[in-house]
A = this chain, B = another copy of it.
C-alpha cells in the first residue's frame, strides 16, 4: 500500500497529537473513507501519524464515546456500522431535534448568530447552484449546527451534532455511488426557516423545521428504495 498522504509530522506541540488524530479519523469515518465495519489497527495508525500508540488510543476512546467506533475487549476497534434496519429511530430523532433547535433559535438567537447562519446559507445556495451534492450535505450540517448553537441548549446541541454527523454518513452512503442532485427546494426552505428565526416566530419555526425534516427523510427513503430496487435488479 502506498502512503495514504499523511507524510511526515516532524514536530508537534505537546498535547496536539490527540486532536490531530481525532479530527482526521473523524473526518475519514464521516466521509466513508474508512468504511463501516473496517477494523482499526492501533500500531498501523501510530506509524501513519508518526507517534506512539498512547495518543491514538485516546482519540479512539473519544470516538467510541461518540459512537463512531466500536471496541471489543482484546480485539481491534472497528468503524461503527450504519444500522439501516433502525433508520426510523434516526428519522424520529433528527425531526425532533430540527424542530426543537429551530424553535429555541427563534427564542434565544443574538445578532451574531444570525449573521453566521446567513453566511452559511449563502454557502449552501452556492453549493446548490454548483449542483455539488456533497458540499450541500456538508454545509447543511454546519448550517443546522449553527441554528442549534443559537438555541443555546447544550443538551440539544450535542445530540443534534451527533445526528447531523450520522446523517452526513448516511447521505454519503448514497451520494458517493449515485452522484445525485439535491433539490434546490432546500435552499428556499432554509431561507424560510431563517426568516422565521429572525422574526422570532416560534410556531412557524416548528412547522417549517418539521416540513424540512420530513423532506430530508423522504429523500433518504427514496434513495434507499431505489438502492433496494437496484439490488434486486442485479
Q: Is A57 an interface residue (CB 8 A)?
A: yes
Question: In the assembled complex, which residues on chain B have CB atoms less than 8 Å from the CB atom of A74?
Answer: 14-15
Query: CA separation between A54 and B58, bound complex, in Å?
Result: 10
Contacts from A to B (Cβ < 8 Å): 14-15, 54, 57-58, 61-62, 65-66, 73-74, 86, 89-90, 92-93, 96, 100, 104, 152-156, 158-159, 162-163
Whether A155 contacts B73 by the Cβ 8 Å rule is no
- CB closest residue in chain B, given A163: B155
Give the distance to chain B from A141, nearest Cβ to Cβ, in Å. Answer: 16
Q: Which of A14, A61, A90, A104 has the most CB of B within 10 A?
A: A61
Query: CA separation between A163 and B22, bound complex, in Å?
Result: 26
Give the distance to chain B from A206, nearest Cβ to Cβ, in Å. Answer: 13
A58 is contacted by which of B61, B86, B163 (Cβ under 8 Å)? B61
Known A15-B73, A15-B74: A155·B61 in contact at CB below 8 Å = no
Give the distance to chain B from A162, nearest Cβ to Cβ, in Å. Answer: 7
Give the distance to chain B from A26, nearest Cβ to Cβ, in Å. Answer: 13
Known A15-B74, A73-B15, A100-B96: A154·B62 in contact at CB below 8 Å = no
Query: CA separation between A73 and B15, bound complex, in Å?
Result: 7
Question: In the assembled complex, which residues on chain B have CB atoms less than 8 Å from the CB atom of A54?
Answer: 54
Query: CA separation between A86 and B92, bound complex, in Å?
Result: 27
- CB closest residue in chain B, given A94: B155
Query: CA separation between A155 and B94, bound complex, in Å?
Result: 9
- CB closest residue in chain B, given A73: B15
Whether A90 contacts B155 by the Cβ 8 Å rule is yes
Query: CA separation between A221 and B14, bound complex, in Å?
Result: 44
Question: In the assembled complex, which residues on chain B have CB atoms less than 8 Å from the CB atom of A100?
Answer: 96
Query: CA separation between A156 and B93, bound complex, in Å?
Result: 7
